[in-house]
Amino acid sequence: MSRRRRAGQGALLIVAMLFASSGALRLGSGIGAALAESGEKAVTAETVPASCEMPSALSEALSLREDRVAAQEVALQDRLAALALAEAAISARMAEMQAVEDELKATLALADGAAEEDIQQLTAVYQAMKPKDAAVLFETMSPEFAAGFLGRMPPESAAAILSGMSAEAAYGVSVIVAGRNAGVPTE
């Protein structure tokens, strides 16, 4: 039985030592935290100077930034004013160009109208001529030019002039008249 007692005493001794070391650790960790807090207070009290210069540096930096922003704003306003002037000048120039274009269109329409009137009058003259005389004249013309006049005439007058022309000349003019609208889309 004595062996049992000794074995039990050894186990009790080990458990007691574990409890003691656990208590020491807990006590040590509390002391460490307390020392750390007192150390932090001492460090913060020593590191912060009595007069803090950060607000004045920050104020100066903000002031410089505000000056830069104000300068940029002025530059932007100047640029907007310049753009407005340029836009007004462009609008005025566009109005002038539109007026010139309208005038040019009117002039071209007048010229086209005059040219069309001249062609109609000349077509009427060729149509009023004797077919044999007109045929002689049409044979001397280039086939494209003759085809333009014959295409404007009524079929009876054109037929009378073509019948007075040589077979080769009449054929050449007929091919041109027939092929004038061949390239026009049908759809």
Q: pLDDT for 55-104, tens place per residue? A: 888 888 899 999 999 999 999 999 999 999 999 999 999 999 999 999 99
State how far the alpha carbon of 186 is from the alpha carbons of 70, 172, 175, in Å.
67, 25, 20
CB neighbours (10 Å) of residue 135?
A: 20
DSSP state of 183: T
Instruction: Evaluate whether 149 touches 139 at the Cβ level (below 8 Å).
Output: no
Identify whether the C-beta of residue 123 lies closer than 8 Å to the C-beta of residue 149.
yes
The pLDDT of residue 32 is 62
| Rounded Cα distance, 63 and 92, in Å | 43
pLDDT of residue 1: 53
Q: What is the pLDDT of residue 11?
A: 75
| 125: alpha, beta or left? (left if phi > 0; alpha if psi -120 to 50) | alpha
Given a contact cutoff of 8 angstroms between Cβ atoms, the answer to whether 157 and 184 are in contact is: no
Rg (CA), the chain: 56
Answer whether 178's CB lies under 8 Å from 149's CB: no
pLDDT on residue 137: 92
Residue the block writes with tokens 């932090």: 40
- Going from the first residue of the chain to its last (187 residues), give the mean pLDDT of each consecutive group of 10, the final group possibly shorter: 61 81 73 63 52 74 93 95 94 95 90 85 91 92 90 91 92 88 73
Q: Give, in degrees to the nearest 5, the angle at Cα 181 between 176 and 183.
A: 110
Which two three-digit tokens encode residue 162? 């073509």
Q: Output the pLDDT for position 179.
A: 85
pLDDT at res. 111: 83
